[in-house]
Amino acid sequence: MIVVDRVTKIVVEQRFGVPYGPREIIDHVLFLTVTRNAGAAFGLFQTFTLGFLLISAVVIVGILIYYWRLPPHDWPARLGLALVLGGAIANAYDRGVKGSVIDFIQVPHWPIFNVADSAITVGVAVLLLGTVWRGGRPRPRRA
């Protein structure tokens, strides 16, 4: 995940430059719009780079601690946490090295995002679905 994010950002930055676009990729559905984002989602808090790095560090450590405590068969939680971890590391790397992240995927009515953002979003969705799925099973009774 981290490698895919880095490669896509490098290719987009070198091939198209920053800023670039919007360029329609799929008719009215997907656009290539290259921009730098020093803030969080939706471009909020543009001057909080150090704060985002500290938050990322805490999240990364928390995920690693929690991940090793999960039962081996809890694949939704493991997959979800791995996706969130990969996305957090990838975006933290960009913030630490470049001071911002490159966003380049644009769909209508949504802020521009990148592969790491997608991994975080999908990871959280997998965690939520896994929680709902586990919640529907009967729990073993304790004597």
Catalytic positions = 103, 117
What is d(CA 66, CA 33) in angstroms, rounded to the nearest whole number?
Answer: 36
Distances (CA, A) of 137 to 66, 124, 127, 131, 133: 22, 21, 16, 10, 7
Q: Position 72: which residue type?
A: P
DSSP assignment of 15-53: HH-SSEEEEEEETTTEEEEEEEE-SSGGG--TT-HHHHH
